[in-house]
Amino acid sequence: MPAFNRRNIVLTTLFMILMHCSVYSQDKIYVVNGSEIGYIDLADYTYKFVCNAVPFGDIAITPAGKIYGYYDALYEIDPVANTYTLIPVDMSNAPTFYGANAMVSDRDGNLYVAGTATLFKIDMKNATMSFVGNMSTFPAGDLCFSEGKLYMAAMNNVLIELTLGPGGNSIVSERVAGTMLLDGDVYGIGANENGICYAITTRKELALIDTEDATAYIIAKPPKGNIMDVNGLALLREGVNDKDIEICGNGIDDDHNGFTDDNDMACRLKRGLCTSESQEIFRETFGAGSGFGTALPNLSAAGYTFSTTAPLSEGRYTIVSDPRLAQGNATWKSMADHTGNPNGRMMVINAAYKPGEFYRKKITDLCGGHQYAISVSASSVISTGMNCGQDVVSIPARIRFHIEDENGNILGQVAERYIPADDNPAGTWKEYGMIFTLPDNVSTIQIVLLDDAPGGCGNDLAIDDIVFSTCQPTPVVSLNGDYNGPFTGCINSEAVFQVDTAMLRLRQPSFQWQKRTAANAPWVNIPGANDISYTIARLQLADAGEYRILITEDPNITCPKTLASMVMLFTVQDVAAFQLTPPFTACVGEPINLSVTPYNNLQEARWTYPNGDQTSGVTLLVTNTAAMSDAGEYTLKIRTTEGCSATLKTTVTVLPYETIGFTFTTSQACVGQPVQVQSDGSWQPGTWQWTASGNGVISQADTKTPIIIWQTPGDQQLTLQSTGQCILDQHVTKDITIQNVPTPGMLSAPEQVCVGTPLEMTVTGYTGGTIAWNITGNPILTGPPDRQQAIWNTIGTYTINYTVSGTCGSVTLPAPKPVIIKDAPYVSLVHDTTVCRGTPLYLQPVFSGDATLFSWQDGPFVAESKYIAEQEGVYKLVVQDNWGCSTQAEINVQWMNCGCDIFIPTAFSPNGDGLHDIFKPVIHCVTASYEFRIYNRWGQLIYLSRRPGEGWNGILHDGRPAETGAYTWVLEYKSYEYPAPMLQKGFVTLVK
Domains of the chain: 11-241 (2.130.10.10), 261-470 (2.60.120.200), 477-573 (2.60.40.10), 576-652 (2.60.40.10), 661-739 (2.60.40.1080), 746-822 (2.60.40.10), 827-896 (2.60.40.10), 902-990 (2.60.40)
Q: What is the DSSP letter of 741?
A: P
Task: Give 238's DSSP letter.
Answer: G
pLDDT given at position 378? 98
Q: Which of the given ranges, 391-400, 571-580, 803-812, has the highest pLDDT on average? A: 391-400
Task: State residue 946's pLDDT score.
Answer: 93
The mean pLDDT of the chain is: 88
Q: Is residue 978 scored above 80 in pLDDT?
A: no
What is the secondary structure of 381-423 as a DSSP string?
-B-TT----TT--PBPB-EEEEEEETTS-EEEEEEPPPB---S
What pLDDT is recorded for position 801?
93
Q: How confident is the model at residue 839 (pLDDT cuts 50, 70, 90)?
A: confident
CA distance 333 to 427: 7
Tell me what pLDDT residue 592 has. Answer: 93
- pLDDT(979) > 80: no
Give 862-876 pLDDT, tens digit per residue.
989 898 888 889 999
Most confident option among 11-15, 337-341, 602-606, 955-959:
337-341
pLDDT at 681 over 80: no
What tens digit of pLDDT does each residue of 127-141 get? 999 999 999 999 988
Task: Report whether 928 contacts 975 (CB < 8 A).
Answer: yes
- Condensed to tens digits (0 to 9), the pLDDT of residues 467-513 reads 999 998 888 888 888 888 778 889 999 999 999 887 676 778 899 99
Distance CA 534, CA 918 (A): 163
- Structure confidence at residue 17 (pLDDT): 31
Taking CB atoms within 8 Å and a gap of at least 24, the contacts of 954-959 are 954/908, 954/910, 954/917, 954/919, 954/990, 955/910
DSSP 578: -
Checking if the pLDDT of 597 tops 80, the result is yes
In angstroms, the CA 167 to CA 256 distance is 11
- Which whole number is the average pLDDT over 572-592? 90
Mean local confidence (pLDDT), 330-334: 96
Q: Average of pLDDT values for 570-580?
A: 89
Evaluate if residue 707 carries a pLDDT over 80: yes
d(CA 803, CA 815): 11
**Ramachandran region of residue 391, left (φ > 0), alpha (ψ -120 to 50) or beta?**
left
Reported as a pLDDT band with limits 50, 70 and 90, residue 899 is: low
Cα–Cα distance list, 937 to 934, 970, 987 (Å): 10, 14, 11
CB atoms within 10 A of CB 849: 8
- Mean pLDDT in residue range 912-928: 86
- 2 pLDDT more than 60: no
State the pLDDT confidence band at 8, using cuts at 50, 70 and 90: very low
Q: What is the pLDDT of residue 556?
A: 64
Length of the chain, please? 992
Distance CA 43, CA 46 (A): 8
pLDDT (tens digit per residue) in 214-231: 999 999 999 999 998 888
Which of 3-7, 133-137, 599-603, 656-660 has the highest average model confidence (pLDDT)? 133-137
| Residue 355 half-sphere exposure toward CB, CA atoms < 13 A | 19
Q: Give the ranges where 525-684 is alpha helix by DSSP (H).
A: none
Residue 153 has pLDDT above 80, yes or no: yes
Residue-wise pLDDT tens digits, 638-659: 998 878 889 999 999 999 888 8
pLDDT in tens, 302-325: 899 999 999 999 999 999 999 999
The dihedral sign for the CA sequence 438, 441, 444, 448: negative
Question: Using an 8 Å Cβ cutoff, are 63 and 240 in contact?
Answer: yes
**In this structure, are residues 455 and 400 in contact, taking their beta carbons and an 8 Å threshold?**
no
- For residue range 400-423, what is the model confidence (pLDDT) as tens digits? 999 999 999 988 899 999 999 999
| Average pLDDT estimate for 572-581 | 88
| Distance separating alpha carbons of residues 370 and 437, to the nearest angstrom | 5
Cis peptide before 486 (omega within 30 of 0): yes
467-506 as b/e: b if 16+ CB within 10 A: bbbbbbbbbbbbbbeeeeeebbbbbebebebbbebeebbb
Answer with the residue of higher pLDDT: 525 or 744.
525
Strand order of the sheet with strand 102-105?
Answer: 90-93, 128-134, 118-123, 111-116, 102-105
Residue 5: predicted pLDDT: 33
What CA–CA distance (Å, rounded) separates 497 from 537? 11
Q: State the DSSP H helix or E strand holding residue 326, giving kind and residue range, or none if neither.
A: helix 323-327
Q: What is the DSSP string of 418-470?
A: PB---S-TT---EEEEEEEE--TT---EEEEEEE-S--SSB-EEEEEEEEEEE
Please say if the pLDDT value at position 878 is more than 80. yes
Query: Cα(654)–Cα(553) distance, rounded to whole angstroms?
Result: 70
Position 25 scores a pLDDT of 42
Percent of the chain with pLDDT over 90: 51
pLDDT at 26: 46
Cα gap 83→73, rounded to integer Å:
15
Cβ-based neighbours of 829, under 8 Å, separated by 6 or more = 843, 845, 846, 875, 877, 889, 890, 891
pLDDT at 842 over 50: yes
Distance of CA 348 to the CA centre of its chain: 58
Per DSSP, helices labelled H in 711-797 are none
Residue 260 has pLDDT above 80, yes or no: no
pLDDT in tens, 767-810: 777 899 999 999 999 999 889 999 998 999 999 998 888 878 88
pLDDT at 910 exceeding the cut of 90: yes
pLDDT at 949: 86
Query: What distance, in Å, lies between the first and last C-alpha atoms of the chain?
Result: 160
Confidence at 20, pLDDT banded by 50, 70, 90: very low
Whole-structure pTM over 0.75, yes or no?
no
Mean pLDDT for 25-34 is 79
pLDDT for res 3: 34
pLDDT above 70: residue 938? yes
